[in-house]
Structure 1
Amino acid sequence: MDGPVATTPTRGDTRFSDIIYEKIVSMIADGRFPVNERLPSEQNLAALLGASRPVVREALERLRNDDLIVSRKGSGSYVRQRPDRSILQQVPVGSLADVQRFFEFRAGLEASAAELAARNWQAVDRTRISDAILALEKCLERGDLGADEDFALHEAIAIASGNQFHATVRTLFRPHFSIGQSVTRSLSLKRPPHHVREVQGEHTAIVEAIFSRNEQAAHDAMKNHILMARARMFQGVGS
């Protein structure tokens, strides 16, 4: 049966504040706005970027939510961390803000799927999940990206939920899932090995909670994993 097909966002679908958001991220990543330095005022940013102050204000609020900048009362906004430039090369122009929003969406969705999986998994689900996390472990040992294997693990958990809509959502929005997972995993490969191992530890915690039928632990472990992935998008790769 034919149905809606999700695609990656294009510039035509993008709000102007998202374009401004991405321009500021680029300037931070390039070092034009250094870490711990104060950003220009809203008025000066508006003039620099060719946008209105309300648009700049909205972009800055997103940057605060993403922990890229921090506000200091009576002093202005300061750069908190410098993301790796490569994230801007891996997402469609103007869609970086949507990638972050999709992580927010995933946090609730996949936590619910993991909780249901802990309650409902069957023997076939256990085999599918076990095979998926083993395949991901082998990717780590080889130093491979593992984005497809990462997707397969999360998909196996969605199927184990016993609610077909969790699997359907993953099909409809596969490009969105894939972009986020590819970016975060590629960044992990540029970081010291212990970072990659920490991510796999998060996966292991999810799987162990599911197999022990601990619904709350599975929910919490998955939500933590997705929110940590969102945070890792903008962390530097040097440490």
Structure 2
Amino acid sequence: MNDTGLDLVSNADGAPERLSDVVYDGIVSLIARGDLILNSRLPSETELSARFGVSRPVVREALQRLREDGVIVSRQGSGSYVKRQPDMAVLQFAQVSSLADVQRCFEFRAGHEAAAAALAAERWQEEDLQRMQEALEHLEQCVKSGTVGIEEDRRFHEAIAQATRNQYYVSIQASLASHIATGMNITRQLSLLRTPERLRAVQLEHVAIFDAIRQREPEAARLAMQRHILNARQRMFEGV
């Protein structure tokens, strides 16, 4: 336990990582690999505690996060069960990043970027709209060519932050750039493994955001952005 009151370890990059995130990632890995199959019962908290070498409160926190993210479900008096089986590819695309951390980033972005989109709808100027449109067109080319488009996606979201004309939105977006790119890499890579219709659906979410901003409809822009990011969060753990 460090002086922040959190149970931390160091990840592969030497950065601090919560023990509950380690357990979270470990359980997701067991499910993705098929060691725990769909609808099967998870080991007890005591067994998971021994398996991962952590305390039961740490396991409990990880399980709570997994429930919130729709990976497991609890049945009163019976324990926790596998609700969704993520594609094994999610483990590859996450690389050294914590899956729990990526999910928390999506959670934060759903509020932050939704507010930015609403403000952008009120304040955009012609150069802002041009930046958004160019990024959207580049994303369209990625869809047509079957390329990942992480940089193009990032530019679209950054253009919206710039359109708020508020430096705090811009600076927060920049400070989260690497975390956002990790999430985009996972979800866009997974989309490439699906049908062309899946890629088109993701692109249409971007179009809906742009249209609402262009038409100066703050509430529609907020909802479109929130829907897009929460959908991306769900797509990360889409079942096989």
The TM-score, its normalising length taken from structure 2, stands at 0.91
Name the residue aligned to 1:149: 152
Distance change (3 Å), C-alpha of 1:145 and 1:168: same
Query: How far off its partner does 1:49 sit?
Result: 2.3
Q: Do 2:93 and 2:189's aligned partners in 1 also have CA atoms closer than 8 Å?
A: no
Q: 1:122 aligns with which of 122, 125, 131?
A: 125
Query: How far off its partner does 1:29 sit?
Result: 0.4
Q: For residues 6-45 of structure 1, what are the structure 2 equivalents within 5 Å?
A: 10=13, 12-45=15-48
* Structure 1 residue 224 corresponds to structure 2 residue 215: no
The amino acid that maps onto 1:221 is A
The amino acid that maps onto 1:33 is L
Identity rate, percent: 52
Residue by residue over 1:129-187, the C-alpha shift from the partner in whole angstroms, topping out at 9 and shown as x without a partner, is 11111110011000010111000111111111111221111222211111011111001
Name the residue aligned to 2:8: none
The number of residues matched between the two structures is 230
Name the residue aligned to 1:186: 189
The amino acid that maps onto 2:150 is A
Q: Do 2:106 and 2:233's aligned partners in 1 also have CA atoms closer than 8 Å?
A: yes
Q: 1:129 & 1:49 partners in 2: Cα distance?
A: 45
Query: How far off its partner does 1:89 sit?
Result: 2.5
Q: 2:205 aligns with which of 196, 202, 206?
A: 202
RMSD: 1.6
Name the residue aligned to 2:66: 63
Distance change (3 Å), C-alpha of 1:12 and 1:168: closer
Name the residue aligned to 2:82: 79
The TM-score, its normalising length taken from structure 1, stands at 0.92
Q: Do 1:111 and 1:223's aligned partners in 2 also have CA atoms closer than 8 Å?
A: yes
- Secondary structure, counterpart of 1:136 in structure 2: helix
Q: 2:46 & 2:26 partners in 1: Cα distance?
A: 16
Residue by residue over 1:180-218, the C-alpha shift from the partner in whole angstroms, topping out at 9 and shown as x without a partner, is 111110010011111111111111111110011000000
Q: 2:198 & 2:91 partners in 1: Cα distance?
A: 21
The amino acid that maps onto 1:149 is E
Q: 2:219 & 2:113 partners in 1: Cα distance?
A: 13
Query: How far off its partner does 1:224 sit?
Result: 0.9
Query: How far off its partner does 1:10 sit?
Result: 3.9
Name the residue aligned to 1:177: 180
The amino acid that maps onto 2:213 is I
Structure 1 unaligned residues grouped into runs of 5+: 1-7
Q: Do 1:11 and 1:95's aligned partners in 2 also have CA atoms closer than 8 Å?
A: no
Q: 1:168 & 1:19 partners in 2: Cα distance?
A: 29
Query: How far off its partner does 1:88 sit?
Result: 2.1
